[in-house]
Amino acid sequence: MTRIAFIGLGIMGLPMAVNLVRAGHEVTGHNRSPARTARFAEQGGRAADSVRDAVAGAEIVITMLPDSPDVEAVAADVLTARRALWVDMSTISPVTARSVAAQARDAGLRTLDAPVSGGEQGAVDGTLSIMVGGEAADVEAARPVLEVVGRTIVHVGPAGAGQTVKAANQLIVAGTIGLVAEALTLLDAQGVDLTPAVEVLSGGLAGSAVLDRKSANMLRHEFAPGFRVDLHHKDLGIALGTARESGVPLPLGAVVAQLMAAARAQGHGDLDHSALLLVLENLAGGSRHGR
């Protein structure tokens, strides 16, 4: 049993924190909007009114917040948890992850950046993929807790490396969705029956997890999230910013980032990222065969 503080009880954080309670850990949760903290308490968690209250006495502090500024905003309060291991599972910039890790080290805390992949369902089922940056000994200390929320837990390098791998993950996923959307738009324009087309594409080298998991909803034009366009827009900003800092061009990533920005500008920010299809159809003058 570990004393855990859990900050950020949103779509991902709430089910993750509840799984930790069910595994027998003592979990104190806090969310900026109190209704989410109350939902956590209803499911067996301890509720705290502030970050400081939540982290007092914690052995492990987990943060699951939207973006880099949110993690920076709670840092001073998290650092009051002297000697704790701070595991930030939010998707943020590697630069911020490294600077937060340095601040924490100065304050006597250990840190891991441990962003996740696997979506809300993965959080509910406790089957997330977790890419971890930090010291090996700290990864091993956190592993029993990480194994409650994830199935694939890989130490990928020093502080910030987890976030860099996550940026690469988001680049690949967005690029694949973009090309699947272009392929569907082409097939549609030619009047090809999309269902058998997707079936045969899935069996060959063009097959992908995106085609398997997203294409059925794309064919039905159902875009309930899932992973929101707004969050993927944020993540592509992180990927391009990291590339710029590294002096590395990402030409395909730059194009797909613009398409994601267009999805947002067209009012689709709250839809699933597969709504990139709407942008491609729009560029082609609309869906021609009435999907």
Site string for ligand NAD, 177-216 (x = CB under 6 A): ----------------------------------------
Task: Please identify which residue in 18, 27, 74, 75 interacts with ligand NAD, judged by CB under 6 A.
Answer: 74
Query: Active site includes 166?
Result: yes
Q: How far apart are CA 124 and CA 178, in angstroms?
A: 27
153 binds ligand NAD (CB under 6 A): no
Which one of the spans 67-75, 148-156, 192-200, 251-259 is the region binding ligand NAD (CB under 6 A)? Answer: 67-75
224: which residues sit within 8 A by CB, 6+ positions away? 271, 272
Q: How far apart are CA 100 and CA 115, in angstroms?
A: 15
Instruction: Report which of 92, 102, 112, 110 is spatially closest to residue 163, judged by C-alpha positions.
Output: 92
Q: How far apart are CA 93 and CA 68, in angstroms?
A: 6
Q: How far apart are CA 287 and CA 44, in angstroms?
A: 48
User: Site residues for ligand NAD, window 230-249 (CB under 6 A)?
Assistant: 231
Cβ atoms of 148 and 25 within 8 Å: the answer is: yes
For ligand NAD, the closer CB: 64 or 194: 64
Q: How far apart are CA 284 and CA 107, in angstroms?
A: 55
271 binds ligand NAD (CB under 6 A): no
Q: How far apart are CA 17 and CA 282, in angstroms?
A: 40
For ligand NAD, the closer CB: 119 or 150: 119
What is the closest distance, in whole angstroms, from the C-beta atom of residue 148 to ligand NAD in the complex? 17
For ligand NAD, the closer CB: 65 or 194: 65
91 binds ligand NAD (CB under 6 A): yes
For ligand NAD, the closer CB: 173 or 183: 173
Among the options 36, 98, 155, 166, which is catalytic?
A: 166
What is the closest distance, in whole angstroms, from the C-beta atom of residue 63 to ligand NAD in the complex? 8
Q: How far apart are CA 212 and CA 202, in angstroms?
A: 7
Catalytic positions are 166
